[in-house]
Every structure is written in C-alpha cells, then in structure tokens.
Amino acid sequence: MRQFLNTIRITLDMVKIEHTLFALPFAFMGAFLAAEGFPSSRQVFWILVAMFGARSAALAFNRLSDLKIDSLNPRTSQRALPRGLVSRRFVIVFIAATSGLFILACWQLNPLAFRLSLPALAIIFFYSLTKRFTWTAHLFLGLALACAPMGGWIAVRGNLDPKPLLLGLAVALWIAGGDVIYACMDVDFDSRMGLHSVPQRWGIPKALKIAVGMHVITAIILMLCTYAFRLGWIAWLGIAVVVLLLVYEHRLVKPTDLSRANTAFFTVNAIISFTLFATTAADLLMRSS
C-alpha cells in the first residue's frame, strides 16, 4: 500500500497537479458567466472533478507520448517516466482512470457535456502529437485550454452560443503566445530532433514578436468579451491588470536571455487566469446583489 501511494504521489507530481489551477479559473469563469453569478454547488463540484480528470489525463498522455523525446532532452530527462520512477503500464491505467472520471463528471452535469466529453478528450490528447508535424502545435494547445471556459458554460447552461466561443478564442491565443515563449527554451533540441515549433521555424527573435502579436489580439478579444457580456468596471479593471501582466511577461524574456521563461509561462499566466476569473466573478456578483 505504501508503495502504491508513493507511486500515486509521483504520478501527481509528474502531471503537475498544482497546475490544474492554471486552467481551472477559466472553467469557472465560463460557469459564472453562464449562471450570471454563482453556479449551484453541485455544478461547482462536478466542474472541479471534470477539470481534475481532464487535466490529469492530458498531462499523463503528454508524458507518455513524449517519453522518448523527454529522455533525450537534458531539460526533461529527470522527469518521472524517463527516470523509471513510474511504469508505462501504470501511466496508461492512470490515463484511463482519469479519463473515466472526466466522462463521469460530464455525465453528471448534463447531456450535452456528456456527448462532448469524448471529442474534448480527443482534442486535449491530440495536442501532444502535433509538434511532430506542425509548427502550429501552440495553437492546438490553445484549443485544448479553450475547452475550459466553453466547458464551464456548457456545464451550467447545457448549450453553447457565440459569446463563450469568443472567450475561448481569447484563451486559445493567450496560451498559444505563452507556449511560443516556453518553446524558445528547446529550439536547438527541437531542430536536432526534427520537432516543430514557431521558434524552430522562424528563430527566437521573430517567435517572441509573434507571441507579442498573439497577446495583443488576446487583449482586444478580452475587451470584446467584456462588452459582449455587458460587464462593468470591475471586469474592465481586470482587463487592465491583465494587459500590464502581459507586458511584464514579455519583459521577462529576451532573445539572449530565456532564464525566466518558466516564470513568464507558469507564474505570470497563473496570475492572469486567476485575475480574469476573480474580477469577472466579482463584477457579476456585484451586479446581481
């Protein structure tokens, strides 16, 4: 039993379970917008379960599919699977279990969420394969994360309309721009291995400019979302903070200095996602009070 629990701990560390907080605010942002305030406690619970299941399954699949690549990359060779701390078989079982948990949560939410559960899993799994054949892999990651706000909306409303799709587009471009920055750290390795990314295709200086462009468009779409949902000054204040954070994110990285790329991608973006959710929720709750 102790060995099993230790394997579970290593697996949760492998899939960076704490980074579920990275996408979770967007799922709840979609849910709060759909409910125009607090969703029900039941909806909140099953959204949490769905996000845990989907995020864990996606990251475990990514680690499994990239095992050979991670073993050869000095930056990732110390991950659990390359070191043999967990077995391939255990990770496969973990992927199946967490995928099943996600499908169960969707079934508990509503019929549309359940019908879309398998397509959603296909999207988040497919991203892990894309860098083998296209430099647009960053956009596929963005599409995977865009499922969070749209899924939150579906979880509450049981339908989908253009407004959450607009929010999903903003999220997709935001995370894609961040992933372009993150990929700059592996540009030499990707070139040797024949892997594809924006930095590998166009070089680091141009890649960082492309990331800036993606984030400029992200900010514009977020403003359109705020207008479309008829949000008030608190939400607009959140947008202003997010713009400042995006500027800061790009100031952290330079073509000649990528030492803070991890901070730019994980820490700053986690603050961005929480800021957007917190200000949107506060605006909705103040309006409904």
Q: What is the pLDDT of residues 98-116, one digit of tens each?
A: 999 999 999 999 999 999 9
pLDDT at 183 over 60: yes
Q: What is the pTM of this model?
A: 0.92
Distance of CA 1 to the CA centre of its chain: 33
Question: With contact defined as beta carbons under 8 Å apart, do 165 and 151 qualify?
Answer: no
Instruction: Tell me the torsion sign for CA atoms 54, 60, 61, 62.
Output: positive
Instruction: Please state, in angstroms and rounded to a whole number, the distance separating the CA atoms of residues 59 and 125.
Output: 9
Judge whether residue 288 has pLDDT over 90: no
The answer, yes or no, to whether residue 78 has pLDDT greater than 90, is no
Q: What does the pLDDT look like over 235-273, one tens digit per residue?
A: 999 999 999 999 999 999 999 988 888 877 778 888 999
CATH fold label, 2-288: Tetracycline Repressor; domain 2 (1.10.357)
Backbone angles phi, psi at 65, to 5 degrees: -70, -25
Of the chain, the percentage scoring pLDDT greater than 70 comes to: 92
> Does residue 10 carry a pLDDT above 70?
no
Q: Is the pLDDT of residue 189 over 80?
A: yes
Residue 144 has pLDDT above 70, yes or no: yes
Task: Write the DSSP assignment of 39-97 as a string of letters.
Answer: PPHHHHHHHHHHHHHHHHHHHHHHHHHTHHHHHH-TTTTTSHHHHTSS-HHHHHHHHHH
Q: Give Dmax (Cα) for the chain.
A: 58
Q: Structure tokens of 251?
A: 């100031």
CA distances from 213 to 65, 176, 207, 208, 218 (A): 30, 11, 10, 9, 9
Q: Is the pLDDT of residue 232 over 90?
A: yes
pLDDT of residue 167: 95
Q: Which amino acid is at 56?
A: S
198-203 contacts at long range (C-beta below 8 A, 24 or more positions apart): 198/135, 198/138, 200/135, 201/135
Question: What are the boundaries of each domain within the chain?
Answer: 2-288
User: What's the whole-number mean pLDDT along residues 191-210?
Assistant: 95
Return the minimum-mean-pLDDT range out of 6-15, 51-60, 80-89.
6-15
278/165 Cα distance (integer angstroms)? 20
Q: What does the pLDDT read at residue 76? A: 80
Q: Is the pLDDT of residue 5 over 80?
A: no
**Measured between alpha carbons, how far apart are the two ends of the chain, in Å?**
50
Q: How far apart are CA 50 and CA 233, in angstroms?
A: 31
3-state secondary structure (DSSP) of residue 257: strand
Residue 19 to residues 9, 24, 37, 148, 273, Cα–Cα distance (Å): 15, 9, 25, 14, 12
Angstrom distance (rounded) from CA 54 to CA 62: 12
pLDDT exceeding 90 applies to what percent of the chain? 74
Are residues 124 and 147 in contact, defined by beta-carbon separation less than 8 angstroms? yes
